[in-house]
Amino acid sequence: MSKPTISEYLLSSPEISDLYQRATQSQFLSLAGQGRLSSEILSQWLSQDRLYAQAYVRFAGGLISRVQLPTKVTDRDTSKTLEWRILSLIQTALAGVTRELRFFEEAAEKYGLDLEGLGPVAEGDNLSNKSAGFAPNKATQNYIDLFDSFAAQPRGDVSKTLLDGLVLLWTTEKAYLDSWTYAKRQASSDTDTGADLDGGALRKEFIPNWTSDEFVAFVDECRECLDAYAATQVDDTEEVIAAGSMVLFKKVLVLEESFWPMIA
């Protein structure tokens, strides 16, 4: 019987089950899938997710700085090595989050949402006066700090390895996909979004985007690159790799749980 991959080990750990469920099955997500989140609540959360995405850009840059491409030329195509595959994955992640930031702005304009955490945008609002004091909340700031710890030098933490970064990348994307897949399942058989409290923004735009086949394929590639790279780390024992990855895996899931707003 083959040994479990690092992703299989992390997901199958008995101590993870309840934490993973809390991180991916919140009341916020349930209401989102039912079209029962107001434009104001969605705006407030989306403004924080936008800050998260901006920090993700710096995180992706930090991961790229940790990839050591092959220098030895052999008779095989070096562009097909694992290092090149990982670089391609990170480039895809960076392109995806850049596209996502534009998507946020387009959807916000279409549905009258606000990306500065102030609530829905009404005609005639003076946003230049309203935006003073906007900042990440505690959960978002914790995510920003974690992403920035992987930033390229001299800002980042030199002790953070590419393996750590791949664990973080896969965990965040896997949890995000599973969260919005859960939200999608909460919709009733009636798919009419006309009465949705957010005007249909979530069920017509955001949820389809975050559960698309393309996103599923990207998350699968994150997992495959993580598993393949972890298998190459011969400098540390399997126990050391597993223990370090589990600490980070749990940390991300705790952040994910706190990232979803509490709904009164």
Q: Tell whether the torsion through CA atoms of 24, 97, 119 and 33 is positive or negative.
A: negative
pLDDT tens digits, 186-216? 987 666 777 899 999 999 999 999 999 999 9
> 2-32 pLDDT, tens per residue?
788 999 999 999 889 999 999 999 999 999 9
Q: What mean pLDDT comes out for the span 139-156?
A: 86
pLDDT of residue 120: 46
The overall average pLDDT reported for the chain is: 88
- 20-129+140-259 — its CATH code? 1.20.910.10
Q: What is the pLDDT of residue 214?
A: 97
Per-residue confidence (pLDDT) for residue 74, from 0 to 100: 61
- 165 against 152, higher pLDDT: 165
pLDDT mean over 135-156: 87
Report DSSP letters for the chain, one per residue: -PPPPHHHHHHH-TTTHHHHHHHH--HHHHHHHTT---HHHHHHHHHHHHHHHHHHHHHHHHHHHH-----S--SS-GGGSHHHHHHHHHHHHHHHHHHHHHHHHHHHHHHT--TTSS-SPPTT--HHHH-TT----HHHHHHHHHHHTTSSTTTS-TT--HHHHHHHHHHHHHHHHHHHHHHHHTS-S----TT-TTTTHIIIIIHHHHT-HHHHHHHHHHHHHHHHHHHT--SS-HHHHHHHHHHHHHHHHHHHHHHSPP--
In this prediction, residues 94-118 reach a mean pLDDT of 92
82-104 confidence digits (pLDDT tens): 999 999 999 999 999 999 999 99
**% of the chain at pLDDT higher than 70:** 85
Split at pLDDT 50, 70, 90, the class of 181 is very high
- Of the two residues 157 and 46, the one the predictor is more confident about is 46
Q: Indicate whether this model's pTM tops 0.85.
A: yes
Using the predicted structure, report yes or no on whether residue 121 has a pLDDT greater than 60.
Answer: no
- What pLDDT, on a 0 to 100 scale, did the predictor assign at position 80? 76
The amino acid at residue 129 is N
The region, left, alpha or beta by phi > 0 then psi within -120 to 50, assigned to residue 133 is left
Tokens for 97?
Answer: 């989050």
What pLDDT, in 10s, does the model give residues 46-69? Answer: 999 999 999 999 999 999 999 998
Greatest mean pLDDT among 73-82, 158-167, 229-238? 158-167
Segment 247-254 mean pLDDT: 96
**Mean pLDDT of the 160-182 span:** 97
Q: Where are the domains of the chain?
A: 20-129+140-259
Residues in the chain: 264
